[in-house]
Chains A and B, each alone.
Chain A
Amino acid sequence: MEEQELLPCVEIRNLVKKFPGVIAVNNINLKVKHREVFSLLGPSGCGKTTTLRILAGLETADDGEVLIEGELINDVPPYRRDCNLVFQNLALFPHMTVEENVAYGLERKRIPKAEIRKRVGEMLEFMQLDGMESRYPVQLSGGQQQRVALGRSLVLKPKILLLDEPLAALDRKLRKDMQLELKRIQQEVGITFFYVTHDQKVALAISDTIAVMRDGKLEQVASPEEIYDSPKTRFVADFMGATNIFLGRVIARSGEEIKLETETGLKIVALADKESSSKEIKGVCVHPERINVLPTGTDVKMDNQFKGRIVGMIYQGDFVELKIHLFSSKEDEIVTARLDARLSRKDSFAAGQEVIGQWDKEGSSTLQG
């Protein structure tokens, strides 16, 4: 038991999967720790669902190894694997009641009837589905269907639960509720979750580790905070909403602090890892909410102050998005900033107004690709 805990719950080594005309999964390696929520995040077609299906055994790998608790499972058929999948469309059996759906997996294991009844009852209670036993899936609300699908898999106590964007079909409010619910369930049952999604908000909210995937390869694997605050590549930065990306090269450096000249002629101060070499640094990214918008004439000694003109304002309810065209750059450089809706009303910036865009070096992140 102790030994098993030391091994990663899931390990994928050099996994490759090809479909006619595309390499869906291109040599990926990852480890999932016990009892964590591991999210595979990426745009559609990046190979995340294929990876998940290989884990479930519904697709076979062309190359590489899949291990669960150190045991190679490449050739284990899906019905004998200790992992269960929650499908994107939930795939609840329409001709079975809630109770029959949840009991389905247990019945296949030839568990005594009395125990099945007990475990199904407990699971339905845990999922707050008591009283729904004899309903059919179409008679349930979206949230209830989600819970039946989760319960149907969790009742089998798998080593790992695979989730294929099960929240994607829900409306925004329900999705928020369900993601809290998911996190609570995961913490209570203590089962490892492998969550596939294209929604960075869901991934940030529920994950312990996020792996960002692009074109069959992993771009970055890190904690949600690190993925958000310090994206390593341009793709991850863009995907996580750090839309202000300045590509350029390092022209000066002292320890962590670097000075970067962008392709458009801006000189930006930023912080880099001590270990990283200046040559590796390809640019800097800044999240919109880290950019301060100041009236012209503000004279304070701060990093990265650039004069510009507001060329667009987009009201978003809880914030206002400003598009600022920076003057000091050679070409058109538009920076996106975010203002708290309360402040913007008082300060009342207007389109066409000249302002200063400013951000601290700590608020930016260097990109290596």
Chain B
Amino acid sequence: MKSLRSDKVLIVLAIGGYLLLWGPIIVLGIYSFNNSAFGVKWESLTTKWYVELFHTSAIMDSVLRSLLIASVTTVVATGIGTIAGYGLFKYKFAGRRFLRMSILLPITVPYVIMAGALLVYFTQIIHFPLGYPTIIIAHISFSAPLAVFVTLGRMQRIDWSLEEASIDLGANRLTTWRKVTIPLLLPAIFASAVLIFPWSFNDFTITYFVAGVGTTTLPLYLYSMLQYSLKPVLINAISLIFIITPTIGILVLSYFQREKQFTR
């Protein structure tokens, strides 16, 4: 009661923060309906850019490529990261601390350096042609550490006597993993995937270096559109789609999260 003033200040600050966050996106959304190819001056309302978007096969192809790459990366990197996180948490061995810290490396190294290193590695050392495999390997290398971190965080809060209980009741290690450990790690696995998918989908810097001919992803395509296209307004349209889709996804997920309350 007595802090009514500071409450008001907080509300104003919060609204300000959200405006800052949402402002550009709102402007972008509005201008995607603007009947002007260069989009600085408002002319009239139209949805023709959305129609054109779906008829420009180059854009659609790059979207599909990006979705494919992000999907494969998410599955593989989440798998690797979860198993690595489990190993780093559960098993005591020499150099464990060092290995745990070194996981940070791909996240802390500047992307351009990481990208350059990967390019040199692929072209000069293992002589691997640039294309889908190189993009996916590169994406895994910077996104698996994320899964390791998410998994390690979850493991701190898991009651490990549950694994022992499973073994005590007659399950071997493999069955215990399948029936107890993985269900317990499911929130972490899920969180990793949700984090990695957009991370991979959005990546520009590293993909720019290791992509080959014919493997232009959406971010690369948008970048080239900004440079050379006659219709930059298309970017507004596609951006809005990619803002709304994950937003709906997040809302649906948080709804289902509330349903599953049995794990505390």
Q: Which of A30-81 contact B (CB under 8 A)?
A: 56-58, 77-80
User: Is B168's CB under 8 angstroms from A56's CB?
Assistant: yes
In the complex, are the beta carbons of B165 and A85 less than 8 A apart? yes
CB-defined contacts of B224 to chain A, threshold 8 Å? none
A349 within 8 A of B: no
> Of B161, B169, B261, B264, which contacts A104 at CB under 8 A?
B169
B161 adjacent to A87 (CB under 8 Å)? yes
A122 to B15, CA, bound (A): 60
Cβ < 8 Å to B, chain A residues 77-111: 77-80, 84-85, 87-89, 91, 93-95, 104-105, 108-109
**At the interface, yes or no: B6 with Cβ under 8 Å from chain A?**
no
Q: Which residues of B contact A95 (CB under 8 A)?
A: 183-184, 262-263
Q: Pick the contact of B159: A58, A91, A109, A136 (CB < 8 A).
A: A91
- Complexed CA–CA distance, A87 and B168 (Å): 10
Among B167, B172, B264, the residue within 8 A (CB) of A94 is: B264
Nearest A-chain residue to B163, judged by Cβ: A91
Q: In whole angstroms, how far apart are the Cα atoms of A87 and B264 in the complex?
A: 19
**Shortest distance from the beta carbon of B183 to any chain A beta carbon, whole Å:** 5
* Bound CA span A80–B170, Å: 6
| CB contact between A105 and one of B164, B169, B261 (< 8 Å): that residue | B169
Give the Cβ gap from B257 to chain A, nearest Cβ, in Å.
Answer: 15
Given A153-B169, A156-B170, are A91 and B161 also a contact pair (CB < 8 Å)?
Answer: yes
Q: Any chain B CB within 8 A of the CB of A138?
A: yes
Question: How close is A142's CB to chain B, nearest CB, in angstroms?
Answer: 15
Name the CB-closest residue of B to A58: B164
Residue of A nearest to B161 (CB): A91
B175 within 8 A of A: yes
Indicate if A234 sits at the interface (CB-CB under 8 A): no
- Pair B170/A87 contact, Cβ less than 8 Å: no
- Whether A109 lies near B162 (C-beta < 8 A) is no
Query: What's the dominant secondary structure at chain B's contact region?
Result: helix
Report the interface size class on chain A.
20 to 34
Q: Is the CB of B262 within 8 A of A108?
A: no
Cβ of A325 within 8 Å of any chain B Cβ, yes or no, is: no
Q: A78-B167, A105-B170, A109-B170 are in contact. Are A91 and B162 (CB under 8 A)?
A: yes
In the assembled complex, B141 has its CB within 8 A of some CB on chain A: no
Q: Bound state CA distance, A78 and B165, in angstroms?
A: 10
Interface size on B, residues (CB 8 A): 21
Residues of B within 8 A of A91 (CB): 159, 161-162, 164-165
A93 touches B162 (CB 8 A): yes
A104, B172: Cα distance in complex, Å: 12
> Cβ of B175: which chain A residues have Cβ within 8 Å of it?
108
B167 lies within 8 A of A79 (CB): yes
The smallest beta-carbon distance between A196 and chain B, in angstroms, is 14
State in angstroms the CA–CA spacing of A88 and B180 once bound together: 19
The yes or no answer to A152 lying at the interface (CB within 8 A) is: yes
Q: Is the CB of A89 within 8 A of B159?
A: yes
Residue pair B168, A108 in contact (C-beta under 8 Å):
no
**Contact status B180-A93, CB under 8 Å:** yes
Do B170 and A108 touch (CB < 8 A)? yes
Q: Find residues 173-215 in chain B having any chain A CB closer than 8 Å to their own CB.
A: 175, 179-180, 183-184
Chain A CB within 8 A of B72 CB: no
Which residues of A have CB within 8 Å of B166?
A: 93, 104
- A149 (CB) vs chain B CBs: closest residue: B165
- Say how far B187's CB is from chain A's closest CB, in angstroms: 11
The distance in angstroms between the C-alpha atoms of A76 and B243, with both chains bound, is 57
Q: What residues of A have a CB within 8 angstroms of the CB of B264 in the complex?
A: 94, 138
Interfacial chain B residues near A94, Cβ < 8 Å:
162, 184, 262-264
Contact mask A112-155 → B, CB, 8 Å, 1/0? 00000000000000000000000011100000000000001100
The winner among A57, A84, A104 for most chain B CB atoms within 10 A is A104
Known pairs A91-B162, A93-B180; A58 contacts B168 (CB<8 A)? yes
CA A57 to CA B169, docked complex, whole Å: 12
List the B residue with the shortest CB-CB distance to A87: B161
Let me know if B103 is at the binding interface, CB within 8 A. Answer: no
The yes or no answer to B171 lying at the interface (CB within 8 A) is yes
Whether A84 pairs with B164 at a CB distance below 8 angstroms is: no
* Cα separation A129 to B53 with both chains bound (whole Å): 61
Contact in complex: B262, A136 (CB < 8 Å): yes
**Contacts A89-B159, A89-B161 given; does A84 touch B262 at CB 8 Å:** no
- B165, A87: Cβ atoms under 8 Å? yes
Specify which of B162, B165, B171, B180 lies most central, judged by the most chain A CB atoms within 10 Å of its CB: B165
Complex partner residue of A93 from B165, B167, B261, CB under 8 angstroms: B165
Within 8 A of A (CB), among B228-264: 261-264
> What is the minimal beta-carbon distance from A139 to any residue of chain B, in angstroms?
8
- Enumerate chain A residues within 8 angstroms of B170, measured Cβ to Cβ: 79-80, 105, 108-109, 156
User: Which of B169, B183, B184 meets A156, CB within 8 Å?
Assistant: B169
17 A-B pairs (CB sep. < 8 Å): A57-B168, A58-B167, A77-B167, A78-B167, A79-B167, A79-B169, A85-B164, A91-B159, A91-B162, A93-B180, A94-B162, A94-B184, A94-B263, A94-B264, A105-B170, A136-B262, A138-B264
Given contacts A79-B171, A94-B184, 8 further A-B contacts (CB under 8 A): A79-B168, A84-B168, A85-B165, A87-B161, A91-B159, A94-B263, A95-B262, A138-B261
Question: Can you list the 5 inter-chain pairs with the closest CB atoms, starting with the nearest?
Answer: A105-B169, A108-B170, A91-B165, A91-B161, A136-B262
